[in-house]
Homo-oligomer: A and B are copies of this chain.
Amino acid sequence: MVLFFSMNEFKLIENFQEILYEKSPKNNEKKVVGIGDDCALVDLSKKTVVTVDSMVEDVHFKRWYDPKDIGFKLTSMNASDIASCGGVPKYGVLSIEFPKDLDKDWMLRCYKGIKKGCKKYGFSIVGGNTSSSNKISLNLTLFGETKKFLSRSGAKKGDLLFLSGETGLSKRGLEILLEDLPMNKKLVKTHLNPIARTDLGKFLAKYGTSGIDISDGLLQDLGHICEKSKKSFQIFSNKIPINRQLKKSLGCKKKALDYTLNGGEDYQILCTIPPKHKVKAKKLGLIEIGYTQIGSGIFLDENKVNDSGFKHF
């Protein structure tokens, strides 16, 4: 772990430490030591969940995006993975690559976005590494704690399938952003600033049987539960929430359903819960969209969804 990279002309690492470390919410607990050492020492429970995600320039973002959004989204992507496994985020380790001539304010604002995520999701950055590169790349390894690990493989026959919120917005938001379509703030904001459902982590650990976050698209991610749990799913198009502004932006309900079923990066959670906990799930705002049955594959109303997903276009 290199905390002081030799870039004298560019004191980003000091800022990195200053902005991300010292004011992180949990460092006061004295459970983390070793900032400035080769490693950080962290106090973890026996049930630790760990994930890693990256944001790469020109793959996940353009440099003209607000860097604060980029930093925050990185934390959301990771926190979402932790939540979907029934965990609560605790510590993060950051690895950053950037061009030597990068505007200093760009990076500082990106750090602010990461810090916003630390606060929002309640974790601390405990270590990091920086390197030069010709493009910006941000890697966050996040670990959290769970009382019960929620896998993709735990769905049982009869379990109800719940969705934590509307999907498809992010996909359309990205199109608006890159193709210069008529502006819709809600959709663009969902793409740039998705919120991870860490509010659901503990509930899922307690009552869920399987879970996944929707990063690739509702059907595709449900397909992962299908495959890993060796079950079939029946879902209903009239139960799947379609965002009004998404419909308006696309100008057609059918198209909006496509986006809802196949759009990625909304970071809502898809989970299975036994019927006896249905009321509790609904109280939390979870939306029942179908159920688990024996067999394989996904049935949308009467139609089996093919392997390549549900595609109209």
Residues of A within 8 A of B (CB): 1-2, 6, 33-34, 36-54, 56, 58-60, 80-82, 84-85, 87, 91, 93-95, 97, 126-129, 131-135, 137, 139, 141, 144, 146, 149, 151-153, 211-213, 215-216, 224, 228
* Residues A212 and B139 in contact in the complex (CB < 8 Å), given A59-B133, A127-B50, A129-B53: no
CA distance A80 to B2 in the complex (A): 12
CA distance A47 to B128 in the complex (A): 19
* Residues A41 and B2 in contact in the complex (CB < 8 Å), given A51-B127, A137-B133: no
Residues of B near A80 (CB, < 8 A) are 38
Q: Name 7 extra pairs, CB < 8 A, besides A43-B46, A48-B48, A51-B93.
A: A2-B53, A2-B215, A33-B149, A37-B152, A38-B212, A42-B49, A54-B95
* Integer count of this chain's copies in the complex: 2
Are B46's CB and A151's CB within 8 A?
Answer: no
* Residues A48 and B52 in contact in the complex (CB < 8 Å), given A82-B39, A149-B34: no
Are A128's CB and B95's CB within 8 A?
Answer: no
Are B59's CB and A50's CB within 8 A?
Answer: no
Q: List 27 A-B contacts (CB under 8 A).
A: A1-B52, A2-B215, A34-B49, A37-B151, A37-B153, A38-B51, A39-B49, A39-B51, A39-B82, A39-B84, A39-B85, A39-B87, A40-B49, A42-B48, A44-B45, A48-B48, A50-B127, A52-B95, A53-B129, A54-B139, A59-B97, A93-B141, A95-B95, A97-B137, A129-B139, A133-B137, A135-B135
**Least Cβ distance of A297 to chain B in Å?**
18
Are B93's CB and A132's CB within 8 A?
Answer: no
